[in-house]
A and B are shown apart, each in its own frame.
Chain A
């Protein structure tokens, strides 16, 4: 997914820099930073069913809480689930369905903000 978005952003920036103001406004508008933020939020929201809205899980609800670790720690854990280095019940199975780039975005979105 992100490969596509990155490519689009690159194309968009290139167009913005080198074409007319009119084309520039239209293209830039189609992929604004707000839209990108929305996509990132909605990607992270795929985790919310089990780990709570915006990563804030129900305390003592029975599911491991994830809002007490940093983005870097979360990224390392998610990658370890994906590679099989870290065992689990559903997490290794789910992480194999996400791309590396998606996992990076999720960790950035849900990691504890200092």
Chain B
């Protein structure tokens, strides 16, 4: 008998025998499941809670935005080769096709002891299970003068796709030829480690075509390019020589809105024309406010079998807000994968089934180096029971040999499919 046959027979036998159990809570239809945040983590969790429960779970998604705007691919909007409409997807299929109750509002307070969520409109919802996928918060005050510079429009982040993404493109369009675009990168970890380097490519691509005397100056607080380093550096040398300048170990500590100058711990200050200053980041504000950020006060420690917060029972935290495992990136793809592990675990738990002891996660991250050509990095992460964490599988994963238009097609294929998988 082969293994597959055995598994099938074993499962069938167990199916018959499980009829003897009278202990099952079978309380999925009765459980109130709230999902806060409709990004790659939250939207996917809401959908898969419905799918994995065979549409019996009662799921409510709380999301303030009217539509989903993808962070992945938003650098193409910054560089002007795509528009925001190209990366915007409605939430309506989650309710129409999957029966999810969507509330367009913000969750402003979680009472973890009474299991209540307060909404911006003053209403309060109770939950049995809460899935929290609030993304990131910008620690604006970690850089002196940044809050004021942001208010005056002298600096932008555009690290949550939306109006700021378009505003950054407009600032680049308005900039004189010969000007300097400054992109500063905080120390890792932060949302999407490859995105700053992709953004540099997109802005350089725009400059090359429209403002060839201009400079993209990358000021990186890290020791070196964090991901796909050799590939990015080759692209910068071959496609953007004289446009992109990369300075590692430049840690921005202050910004002067009036003179558009950035200051560092060690080096002399630098003046620019368009300033894209990324401060350090933390878990989304509501996670921090709820007392869940028990890793350095910035990120949320979770049990990796079900993504339940180690600080509060029945709150499952996904995506960029969590303290990641070794080599686990804060990416949209990863948030989608985590959401499925969490959704399966919640369904199992509510059915009184054992949680899957061996979940798997993958990551695939495509970066556009111009409007059409792409490089990737990917990885597979298996749960290691003895260490209670995910680890990348030795010998798996990797990067592209070089940029290609074929991977550009796959990158759009990835986008259309993950949008459908999360929202359709």
Contact = CB atoms under 8 A, between A and B. Distances in A.
A2 interface: yes
Q: Is the interface of A mostly helix, strand, loop or mixed?
A: helix
A38 B411 CA distance: 29
Nearest to B360: A46
B367 interface: no
B410 to A, nearest CB: 6
A44 B63 CA distance: 28
A1 B384 CA distance: 10
Pairs A-B, 6 closest by C-beta atoms: A97-B380, A63-B413, A62-B413, A97-B396, A1-B358, A33-B15
B18 A98 contact: no
Contact of A57 (B13, B409, B417): B417
A90 B411 CA distance: 11
Interface of A: 1-2, 4-6, 9-10, 12-13, 16, 21, 24-26, 28-39, 41-43, 45-46, 48-53, 57-58, 61-64, 89-90, 93-98, 101-102, 104, 108
B344 A53 contact: no
A14 B336 CA distance: 38
Interface in B408-424: 409-414, 416-418, 420-421, 424
B5 to A, nearest CB: 11
Greatest chain A CB density within 10 A among B7, B352, B359 is at: B7
Nearest to A63: B413
B360 A89 contact: no
Q: How many of chain B's residues touch chain A, expressed as a range? A: 35 or more
Contact of A9 (B7, B343, B356, B411): B7
Contact of B10 (A13, A43, A95, A104): A13
A66 B414 CA distance: 14
Given A38-B344, A53-B51, A96 B7 contact: no
A68 to B, nearest CB: 15
Interface of B: 3-4, 6-7, 10-15, 17-18, 20-24, 47-48, 51-52, 333, 336-337, 340-341, 343-344, 347-348, 351-354, 356-362, 364, 376, 378-382, 392-393, 395-398, 400, 404, 406-407, 409-414, 416-418, 420-421, 424
A50 B378 contact: no
A32 B15 contact: yes
Contacts of B52: 38, 41-42
28 contacts: A1-B358, A6-B6, A9-B14, A13-B13, A24-B20, A32-B15, A32-B21, A33-B18, A35-B353, A36-B14, A37-B11, A41-B51, A41-B344, A45-B48, A46-B337, A46-B340, A49-B417, A50-B414, A50-B418, A53-B421, A58-B413, A61-B413, A62-B413, A89-B400, A90-B378, A93-B398, A97-B396, A97-B397
